[in-house]
Structures are given as C-alpha cells and as structure tokens.
Amino acid sequence: AQSVSQHNHHVILSEAASLELGCNYSYGGTVNLFWYVQYPGQHLQLLLKYFSGDPLVKGIKGFEAEFIKSKFSFNLRKPSVQWSDTAEYFCAVTPGGYNKLIFGAGTRLAVHP
C-alpha cells in the first residue's frame, strides 16, 4: 500500500537551531509532494509543494524542502527556527493521476525561546 513516513513524531528545539524533518514515501511513479502546517488552534495550511522542476522548493516563512527522487524523500528544512514555528507538520503525497492526498502521521515541533 502507498504510504508516507515521517521519522520524527516529536521534535524539541531551541530558537535559532536548524530544523530538518524527514519524509519518505513508498509510491514509485510520478508524485506531487506537499508539506502542510497546523499551528495551535488553526486550520491546516499549505507550507510548500513540489510538482516538477527544481527539486529544491521554497515555501512560506523561510521553509524549504528538497525532493530526492532516488531516496523517495522530501525533507523539510529551516536554517533557524523561531518560537512561532511551534506547530504540527504533515508531509503529504499525491500519486500521479490521483486527486487524493496521502498524509504522514505528522511531526509535532516545539520551539523553546
């Protein structure tokens, strides 16, 4: 079955630390890749997406992600986190030709001042 794996369920960082959240998917064909973020008490919103082209994509609030096809990975990065980045982050995949999103289990990030 198609699946999305997020390696870290909980991450705790201090402000200014660097962040990398892992995401791997199991589908072998063409995929669209997404990172969504859910801030406390808010709705899920799109952070960034990859459809094609440059495998390094930039999103809102200084986040970026790199698509590595050979590793079936789409890791999320931020060089220096802020307290306001405290949220839950979800990686999601749409296999080519489908209109369904397959989500990972999510990673809860807590950033301490």
Partner 1 sequence: DVKVTQSSRYLVKRTGEKVFLECVQDMDHENMFWYRQDPGLGLRLIYFSYDVKMKEKGDIPEGYSVSREKKERFSLILESASTNQTSMYLCASSLVGSENIQYFGAGTRLSVL
Residues that bind partner 1 (CB under 8 A): 4, 6, 9, 32, 34, 36, 42-46, 49, 51, 90, 92, 94, 98-101, 103-106
Residue with tokens 């609030």: 61
Rounded Cα distance, 23 and 91, in Å: 6
Asked whether 1 and 100 are in contact (CB, 8 A), the reply is: no
Cβ closest to partner 1, residue 51 vs residue 83? 51
- For residue 26, the minimal CB distance to partner 1 (Å) is 14
Joined together, the tokens standing for residue 108 give 């809860």
Q: Smallest distance from the beta carbon of 15 to partner 1, in angstroms?
A: 25
When the beta carbons of 6 and 75 are compared against partner 1, the nearer one is 6
Q: 3-class DSSP state for residue 40?
A: coil
Both structure tokens of 89: 């982050």
How big is the chain, counted in residues?
113
CB of 12 to partner 1, least distance (A): 17
Q: How far is the CB of 55 from partner 1 (least distance, A)?
A: 16
